Amino acid sequence: MRYLLLICGDETAAEHAEDGCEGWSEEMLDRGVLVGGGGLRPPTDATTVRVRDEELLLSDGPFAETKEQVGGFCLIECADLDEAIEIAGKHPAATYGSIEIRPMLAG
């Protein structure tokens, strides 16, 4: 199954932005479960796009102003949720932020 790992944190997580992931990516690439992913610039650099009544609407900032923001993502492919939990639990960001595991729609 494919899962998207959304790596989230509040503003204090930003100080970890340049941390790298302490060998996590290498390990998961070796295991053949990491399909892709990367870290993101902070939400202050985000632009949100909507089209309503054929009009392009832009706003400065993320789509939702919440305390927790997405700081990175990884696409993984593994056997089941237990393996996804194990993979997410090994990511260093899990120790200071939180990681949401979202199953991808099949297909």
Residue ranges that bind another protein, judged by CB under 8 A: 1, 3, 79-82, 84-85, 101, 103
How many whole angstroms from its chain centre is CA 103?
A: 13
Q: Are 39 and 101 in contact (CB under 8 A)?
A: no
**Complex with another protein: residue 14 or 85, whichever CB lies closer:** 85
In the complex, least distance from residue 82 CB atom to another protein, rounded to whole angstroms: 5
Could you say which DSSP state residue 64 is in? S
For the bound state, the minimum distance from the C-beta of residue 52 to another protein, rounded and expressed in Å, comes to: 30
Q: Which is nearer to another protein, 38 or 107 (CB)?
A: 107
Work out how close the CB of 47 gets to another protein at its nearest, in angstroms, rounded to a whole number: 31
The nearer residue to another protein, 13 or 87, going by C-beta atoms, is: 87
Residues 6+ apart with CB under 8 A from 97: 7, 8, 9, 10, 13, 16, 68, 71
